[in-house]
Amino acid sequence: MQTLIQKIHVEQEYSFACRRYRTPHFETGWHKHEECELIYITEGNGTALIGDYVGEYKTGDIFFIASDVPHTFRKRHHKMTGDAIVAHFKNDVFGDFFFRLPEIKHINHFLSKSDAIQLINKLKKDIAALLRVMEHAAGYQRIALLLHCLELMSTSGSFIRVTHNFASPDNNINPAIEKIIDYSFKHYLDPVSLQQVADIAEMSIPTFCRFFKKNVKKTYFNFLQDLRIGHACKLLANTSKPVMDCCYESGYNSWAHFSKQFKQVKQITPSQYRREFVNKGK
């Protein structure tokens, strides 16, 4: 399996990359790169894995991912089209000292964090508009647009921090992680044992547990729980199926276990989640 340290191509006439990635180029495994990433999902939906975060993404969502934070966006269905406008740029994109200037030191502070955020409300709308123009811009306008995005993100509170201070364990990502993630997405609704995933990683169970926790910053079963609860949320929000059916169709065979884990992850019960989602749509 190829390395998962992604090399971002930047055209000779540009200082940073901003381009559209559409299926099949949208599909990228668990990876990281030294560039920061600002990604605007323009088509498709599914599950976002960013550092230790597992959550839903949908058309219109925008995420900012700091340098060297591993991530992947998995479509809900393999036949779905994924499309995104993505800006990739290094922390020192405009030189070693540019962001240290007193007038823009807040941007330097923003970029120095090993965080990932999801933009919301007006900030999301503003950045979406800027990225649509940036995709085709050239010259000074391109630089000005990126600076405008950074200024808005570093001075606004309109975001949700999805991962905080995520320290990647080393300079390389073991390709076994991608194998495990791929297997998990295909089988998270089925009974899964530690022995099964340890065999896929070609490790003993204790070694696998340490390895997964080191790379993803959570236990494998917590990761599996996030995938199953995410699936349950989609059923609760997008169907009228009874809550009990949503439980059993999300990989659980015990209502008590499902209810307890759902509340741990979402801080509310499944029924409350459905009511809140319905009320938001009114």
Give the tokens for residue 37. 């990433």
Kindly provide the b/e burial profile for residues 7-26, where b requires at least 16 CB atoms within 10 angstroms of the residue's own CB: eeebeeeeebebbbbeeeeb
Q: What pLDDT is stored for residue 281 in this prediction?
A: 53
Q: What pLDDT is stored for residue 4 in this prediction?
A: 63
Q: Name the pTM for this structure.
A: 0.83
Partner residues linked to 32 by β-bridges: 5
pLDDT, tens digit (0-9, with 9 covering 90-100), for 49-102:
999 899 999 999 999 999 999 999 999 888 899 999 999 999 999 988 898 899
How far is Cα 84 from Cα 73, in angstroms, rounded to an integer?
11
Residues of the chain with pLDDT under 50: 1-3, 282
pLDDT, tens digit (0-9, with 9 covering 90-100), for 179-192:
899 899 999 999 99
How far is Cα 199 from Cα 265, in angstroms, rounded to an integer?
28
Going by C-alpha positions, the residue among 54, 18, 4, 39 that lies closest to residue 168 is 4
How far is Cα 154 from Cα 143, in angstroms, rounded to an integer?
16
Tokens 């439980």 found at: 247
Domains of the chain plus CATH, in order, are: 17-163 (2.60.120.810), 176-280 (1.10.10.60)
